[in-house]
Amino acid sequence: MAKFVYRMQNILELKQKMETQEKMAFGIANAKLHEEQDKLQELLLRRAGYDNELKEASCGNIDLQRIQQIKRAIDSIKVKIRDQMFAIRRAQKELDMARMRLDAVMKDRKTHENLREHALDEFKEEAARQENKEIDELVSFTYGSEHKH
């Protein structure tokens, strides 16, 4: 029996490699987003710490210089938090783009796999037809040679 050879196998393999690359890119983008979110969490915790320090510094003996120092730290951390929120938005957009690219290459790969399956089914059908033809010829030959004697 003949062996099935898919004529676009190299394209299918290329699509599979592209999908693997896009999965890696998606994973990297996802990790980057989580990293940026973790940075924001750390900044928010620091901000809460500064708020507590300010509350404590405002009670009892008031050290005006210390209060101003804490307020500057709070203002500075607010800017960092805002910048970090922008970084998170950028990372989210990158993740969304990576997801769209991954979806596209997955659909493309699936299309080529479906084409391969269709070609394999046609190959099997043709092989079955060929086998049936050979059996019919063999039966006809056998039947014909039995009746000649």
Instruction: List the chain domain ranges.
Output: 9-143
Which CATH number fits the domain 9-143, given the four candidates 3.30.460.80, 3.30.310.80, 1.10.287.1700, 1.10.1040.10?
1.10.287.1700
Among residues 56, 50, 55, 58, the alpha carbon closest in space to that of 77 is found at 50
- Give the pLDDT of residue 148: 62
Token duo for residue 110: 């699936």
pLDDT over threshold 70, residue 147: no
CA dihedral (31, 37, 41, 47) in degrees, to 10, reads 140
Give pLDDT tens digits for 56-93. Answer: 988 888 889 999 999 999 999 999 999 999 999 999 99
Cα separation, 113 vs 107, whole angstroms: 10
State the pTM of this model. 0.76
Burial tier of 22 (Cβ tally within 10 Å: 0-12, 13-18, 19+):
buried
